[in-house]
Amino acid sequence: MEYIISVLLSGVSVGGQYALIAIGYTLVYGILRLINFAHGDVFMVAGLMGIYLAAVLPITLSLPLVIILTVLLGFAIERVAYKPLREAPRMSVMISAIGVSYLLQNTATYVTGGQPMTYPTIPFLSGTVDVAGTQTKWVVIITPILVLALVFALTQLINRTKVGMAMRAVSKDFETSRLMGIKINSVISVTFIIGSALAGIGSILFFTNYPAITPMSGAMPGLKAFVAAVFGGIGSIPGAVIGAFIIGIAETIIKGLPSSWDVSVFSDAFTFALLIIILVFKPQGLFGEAATDKV
């Protein structure tokens, strides 16, 4: 029983961290129809910045700085690598995203020297707490609560504010909203800023729980978060969050199965199997609007 609770707890927390990345994917895909392959690597870079900043600054200063710098990075990537290709075929933008991902990974390898880096212990998040008889870190408890709060704030932003209205309009019809006088470029920038900020927060929560960051540690969470976004219905924020929680829980359950079965190598593969099943049978995802251009 205690074992089940601890597996579920960590599943929910991993799911929450994926959710924060998945929102970035789903927002960008909703507006640009682009799988932002670099998003997972932005997340990894945010983790590395956390390490380097915490080494020179107190934690209370370095954490907000991480988020600000991640936002700047996301903004810069959009301006440099995606904006010039606005009129190009969709595939060119995706290739550009893959190029950015390659660049970020190689730069990270250069800066870290390819060594795995240890994330600093954040006093409050790393402390342990007792839940129903199992010892667990505070971050495990805080993650889902924080995620729900952020998602609530985000849905308010999208449904109640003018920027949110513009975002919805652009994702509905790019060309028409442009004709209606919406400044496409600033809407896209806002999208990338929100996505990157969430990825920055996600990186703090995610890497507190993991022993080390390598230049490749963004790729897999990134892909999984994208699968979560597709699973929940691309473009839908609640869908992305629910998809991320399902994938996070399923993944920790697979990892927690008896080691004699030796199935833990499939924790990543399971996510992709889920992706293919959902694409074949329900391509619009759990909560997505039925669209015909996907299949």
Partner 1 sequence: MKENKRFFPTLAGIALLLIFVILLENISAAVPGLPDVFQPTSPLFTVLKKAAVYSLVAVSMNLLNGFTGLFSLGQAGFMLLGAYTYAILTVPAAQKDQVYYLFGGCAFEFSFVDMFGMVFGNSGVGGAVSMVLGCLLAIILAGVVAGFFAFLIGFPVLRLKSDYLAIATLGFAEILRAIFQWQKLGPITNGANMIKGFPTFSSFNITGPSGNVILRLSTFIPFFITTVCIVLIVLLINSSYGRAFKSIRDDEVAAEAMGIGLFRHKTLSFVISSFFAGVGGALFAMYVANAQAKAFTSTMTYEILLIVVIGGIGSVSGSVIATFLYVACSEWWLRFLDSEMYFGSFKIPLLRNGFRMVVFSVVIMVIVLFFSNGIMGNREIDLLKPFGKKNKKKEGHTH
Closer by beta carbon to partner 1, 107 or else 189: 107
Least distance between partner 1 and beta carbon 143 (Å): 25
Amino acid, res. 249? I
Task: Give the footprint of partner 1 on this chain (CB under 8 A).
Answer: 33-35, 80-81, 84-85, 88, 90-92, 94-96, 98-103, 105-107, 109-110, 113-114, 216, 219, 223, 226-227, 230, 262-263, 265-266, 268-269, 271-273, 275-276, 279-280, 283, 293-295
CA distances from 248 to 113, 132, 192, 253 (A): 31, 21, 24, 9
Least distance between partner 1 and beta carbon 276 (Å): 6
Closer by beta carbon to partner 1, 101 or else 143: 101
The dihedrals phi and psi of 77, each to the nearest 5 degrees, come to -60, -45
Closer by beta carbon to partner 1, 105 or else 134: 105
Who contacts 49 (Cβ-Cβ below 8 Å, separation ≥6)?
65, 66, 69, 70
Helix (H) or strand (E) holding 194: helix 184-208
Closer by beta carbon to partner 1, 199 or else 278: 278
Least distance between partner 1 and beta carbon 193 (Å): 22
Least distance between partner 1 and beta carbon 234 (Å): 9
Strand 134-137 and strand 128-131: the pairing is antiparallel
Rounded CA separation 205/174 (Å): 34
Least distance between partner 1 and beta carbon 147 (Å): 24
Who contacts 61 (Cβ-Cβ below 8 Å, separation ≥6)?
none
